[in-house]
Amino acid sequence: MLIALFPGDGIGPEIVAQAKRVLDALAIDGLTYEEGLVGGAAYKAVGHPLPPETLDIAKRADAILFGAVGDPDCDSLERHLRPEQAILGLRKELGLFSNLRPAKVFPELAHESALKPEVAGSIDLLIVRETNGDVYFGEKGFRTTADGLREGYDIMSYNEAEVRRIAHAGFQAARARRGKLCSVDKANVLETSQLWRDVVIEVSAEYPDVALTHMYVDNAAMQLVRNPGQFDVIVTGNLFGDILSDQASMCVGSIGMLASATLNGSGQGLYEPIHGSAPDIAGQGKANPLATILSAAMMLRYSLNLSDPADRIEAAVAKALADGARSPDLGGTMNTVEMGDAVLAAL
Ligand code: NAD
Ligand code: IPM
Ligand code: MN
């Protein structure tokens, strides 16, 4: 089983190193690793954020463990050379369309939430975010209007096949959990969202055991803070899912806690924390590695069919937190390596 390790930029290498220590400690037979350059690190080394050598490793791998990409030095490059193109390119090239972002409160962290602890304590939800379409991948560019004004544009669209496959992912996830699916859109304004809603309703006929509701994205943002316990599975498009998942992370306690899996239906997956390269804290040992360690657990479970070691990692993270492990984002003083140490000790 080949695991591609793509640490990337900023805090990426720091957090991936801790996840690798945890994987090594499990001493699982038959795991091999190949490391690849992505993002600004790849651009600076070889002139492209997703070099062919990296894409080749990704295509051959059973799973990809990804840190983060993004580098302020690269923010004025032409768009196709920017670090973020690495993650967008991997999602697109490998057909990784189903991005699962679970948000659950560890009881010890309920007081770290931006919400009241009794509200935060009720959170156990999964955002199923589409990651191959939407405004991210539509035609985009700059032009000049008839009045001579500079104009930027990004076309938002979804076709019915794209909506249908992510709807199935949402219903199946709901079926395996508490049987509730909330589809989040903006059908009161956007045609893309009307098509989304129509297709989700069509697909729902195949899942009579799942209770389907619909919510506009602005209300969903509000409800996530007012009463997050109402949600089981949320299925939504690329842009709305991006925004709502960062919001959900603070409801849970920290952006440094949310893991993710992005799947293409063939078993292959990309696993990464939902956060970015955090240039503001890079190189200072302040990054919380738990989201990446939990992403490694998702990798073992979803792509490598190793649910026992996945359970062990998740239990070790819970125990480390119960034993008081806290990085600065969780109100503590432990550095990135010490957080890794705490998980290893618990393991
Ligand atoms: P960010 O998620 O990198 O950081 C937002 C804030 O959260 C910062 O204050 C940061 O210090 C903090 N933070 C993030 N992860 C943390 C962790 N593990 N522990 C403690 N604190 C953490 O978002 P941003 O600042 O908007 O973006 C920075 C760069 O990352 C940009 O270039 C952006 O495009 C990129 N980005 C990449 C990904 C990805 O690789 N999938 C995701 C999001 C953002
Ligand atoms: C994420 C990030 C990416 C996204 C960026 C870096 C392209 O924010 O993975 O959540 O918007 O999908
Ligand atoms: Mn994001």
Both 274 and 217 in a single domain? Answer: no
Q: Clarify whether residues 93 and 120 are in a common domain.
A: no
Residue after which a domain boundary falls, among 234, 252, 270: 252
Is 263 found in the same domain as 294? yes
Which CA distances in Å does 197 have to 178, 188, 201, 214, 280?
21, 10, 6, 8, 39
Q: Are residues 1 and 91 in the same domain?
A: yes
Please check whether residue 124 lies inside any domain of the structure: yes
287 is in an annotated binding site: yes
Whether the CB of 9 sits within 6 Å of ligand 2: no
Question: Is position 231 within any domain?
Answer: yes
Amino acid identity of residue 71, one-letter, is D
Ligand number nearest to the C-alpha of 292: 1
Closest Cα to atom 9, ligand 2: which residue?
274
Among residues 225, 252, 279, the one where a domain terminates is 252
- Ligand 2 pocket check for 84: Cβ under 6 Å: yes
Is the same domain home to 93 and 223? no
- Does the annotation count 92 as an active-site position? no
266/174 same-domain check: no
What is the per-residue pLDDT across 270-311, written as a single tens digit (0 to 9) for each?
999 999 999 999 999 999 999 999 999 999 999 999 999 999
Work out how many domains the chain is built from and give that number. Answer: 2
- Residue 75 belongs to a domain: yes
CATH, residue 6: 3.40.718.10
Report which ligand 1 atom has the smallest distance to the Cα of 68. 40
Spacing, Cα 239 to ligand 2 middle (Å): 9
Tell me the pTM. 0.98
- Determine whether the shortest distance from the Cβ of 86 to ligand 2 is under 6 A: no
Q: Cα(242) to centroid of ligand 2, in Å? A: 7
Q: How far apart are CA 159 and CA 113, in angstroms?
A: 37
Domain boundary among 252, 269, 289: 252
Domain match, 125 and 239 both: yes
The pLDDT value given to residue 19: 99
Residues lower than pLDDT 50 in the chain = none
For the record, the structure tokens of 11 come out as 């805090």
In a domain, 162, yes or no: yes
Q: Which residues pair with 64 in a beta bridge?
A: 4, 270
Residues 166 and 188 in one domain: yes
Q: How far apart are the CA of 258 and the centre of ligand 3, in A?
A: 11
pLDDT of residue 203: 99
The response to whether residue 134 sits with its C-beta less than 6 Å from ligand 2 reads no
**Rg of the chain, C-alpha, whole Å:** 20
Q: Is 89 in the pocket of ligand 1 (CB under 6 A)?
A: no
Nearest in space to 299 (alpha carbons), one of 12, 9, 16: 16
Host domain of residue 303: 1-99+257-347
C-alpha–C-alpha distance, residues 325 and 310, integer Å: 20
Same-domain pairing of 314 and 344? yes
pLDDT at residue 29 in the model = 96
241 with 264, same domain: the answer is: no
Residues 197 and 93 placed together within one structural domain of the fold: no
- Asked if residue 105 is part of any domain, the answer here is no
Ligand nearest to the CA of 99: 2
Pinpoint the alpha helices (H) of the chain. Answer: 12-26, 39-46, 52-60, 84-93, 117-120, 160-176, 191-204, 217-226, 238-252, 290-302, 307-322, 336-346
> Which of 87, 100, 135 to mutate to test ligand 2, by most ligand atoms within 8 A of the CB atom?
87
Q: Please indicate, yes or no, whether residues 241 and 172 belong to a single structural domain of this protein.
A: yes
Q: Check residue 135 and give its pLDDT.
A: 98
In a domain, 224, yes or no: yes
Going from the Cα of 147 to the center of ligand 3, the distance in angstroms, rounded, reads 35
Residue 27 in any domain: the answer is: yes
Residue at 234 is within a domain: yes
| Nearest protein Cα to ligand 2, atom 11 | 242
